Amino acid sequence: MGRLFGTDGVRGVANKELTPELAFNLGKAGASVLSKDGNRPVFVIGRDTRLSGDMLESALTAGILAVGGHVIKAGVIPTPAVAHLVKKYKADAGVVISASHNPFEYNGIKFFNGEGYKLDDKIEDKIEGIILAGIDSNMHQTGDAIGKCLDAGKDAQALYIEFLAETFEGNMEGMKIVLDCANGAAYETAPTVFRTLGAEVITIGCEPDGININDNIGSTHPELLQKTVVETGADMGLAYDGDADRLIVVDEKGQIIDGDKTICICAKMLKDEGLLDNNLVTATVMSNIGFHKYIKENVGADVNVTAVGDRYVLESMIENGCVIGGEQSGHIIFLNYTTTGDGTLSSLQFVKAVQKSGKKPSELAAEIEIYPQTLVNAKVANENKNDYLKDKEIQDYIAEIEEEMKGSGRVLIRPSGTEPLVRVMIEGEDIERINQLAEDLAKKISDKYM
């Protein structure tokens, strides 16, 4: 068995790679590692709408109870809701059973600590080490030492909805909004909070059956949302992924507003309100050059750049005192409200920005010039994925490309973390030219290192 934890928990095909046996062991190992001074750890468990969710929830719960931990079951609820509820219930940890935007046959298990942040790598390593070493962390509890499922008190969904509504100033009366919940975890919470705030809500992707999560719908497939917004004359459309930690916006014309543009629009609102701490916005290396120009010229702020992945975005935000950051994919963190990406919260902030601007979403988006971007994969031998970094010929060619674009474009090359590929991304004003340059550069790398 190889390494279990990836960048976003343990994932795999349910009942094949992510088995109930593995879920049971994760529950046991997690509870034993997180036990403090002999006290029983309390876990909040939430899941999305996948068919395998019941199976994995039951196995995970059994593992935690076997070690003497207690469990609060939050039911079907977005990932960021678990991060919030861990703090609300004063629990020791949260666990989300979801594979995010992946097809229904996949599932995943990821942990949050008692502050609502993803577990530190060192703690994940301890949990993983126990399982891979085959150590029985059951401790063979008997009698009243066995854990139990605790009463959550007020409905978990209601607590989360209440929290979301409190992050929005005013109301949405007179607004018509289409919500695409991807047949996933937000299918009840998101429509409820928008209706609570007075919006007329049209829903799609709100009829989960266990197998239709992310199926040609949601943030990775917004085509139906685009069509519905135009046909209904809505003010905008908002799409989430399966566990509702991402947001993709569709304007009133049916045009997509990606994460880069959404962050720009919300960062401008925060700056105008005097809430953009340290005049800083966090983004990954994949953020468009147009994003950087808008933040500098229109927001008057700097961009802190991190590696790809919400974990790295969050780490940088905390380290540098930044309140907003995220990725093109729509994973956006508002650190003054929450500790992780939250699609519903991000959409509420976007609506707030639209209202405060007095403009339509399409008008706000048009203020941000997104440069054409092309991505070409160079096939290489796996052991040679980093050799281009020291190759003078390759580096000189990259310098030639950047000189040609003279500040109106950029080159980004990074090795794939999972495949024998080097990814070549070029941005610039002329799409045909950057396509040719990317193909040429990828060929040079492949020819030398395949």
Which residue do the tokens 């030492």 mark?
A: 145
Q: Please compute Rg for the chain using Cα positions.
A: 23
Instruction: Compute the distance between CA of residue 152 and CA of residue 76 in angstroms, rounded to an integer.
Output: 14
Amino acid at 125: D
Give SS3 for 375.
strand
Instruction: Compute the distance between CA of residue 142 and CA of residue 127 in angstroms, rounded to an integer.
Output: 23
Instruction: Compute the distance between CA of residue 19 and CA of residue 198 in angstroms, rounded to an integer.
Output: 43
The torsion region of residue 93 among left (phi > 0), alpha (psi -120 to 50) and beta comes to beta
Instruction: Compute the distance between CA of residue 219 and CA of residue 143 in angstroms, rounded to an integer.
Output: 48
Which residue do the tokens 């040719």 mark?
A: 436
Closest residue by Cα to residue 102 from 238, 9, 207, 199: 9
Helix (H) or strand (E) holding 413: strand 410-415
Per-residue CA distances from 109 to 42, 59, 237 (Å): 17, 12, 30
Q: Using DSSP, how many helices (H) and how many strands (E) does the chain show?
A: 14, 17
Closest residue by Cα to residue 138 from 42, 36, 32, 57: 32
Q: Which two tokens stand for residue 99?
A: 């594979």
Q: Which two tokens stand for residue 171?
A: 């109301």
Strand 410-415 to 42-47 pairing: unpaired
Instruction: Compute the distance between CA of residue 363 and CA of residue 443 in angstroms, rounded to an integer.
Output: 40
Instruction: Compute the distance between CA of residue 366 and CA of residue 385 in angstroms, rounded to an integer.
Output: 38
Catalytic center residues = 100
Phi, psi (5° rounding) for residue 154? -60, 140
Number of Cβ within a 10 Å radius of residue 144 = 8
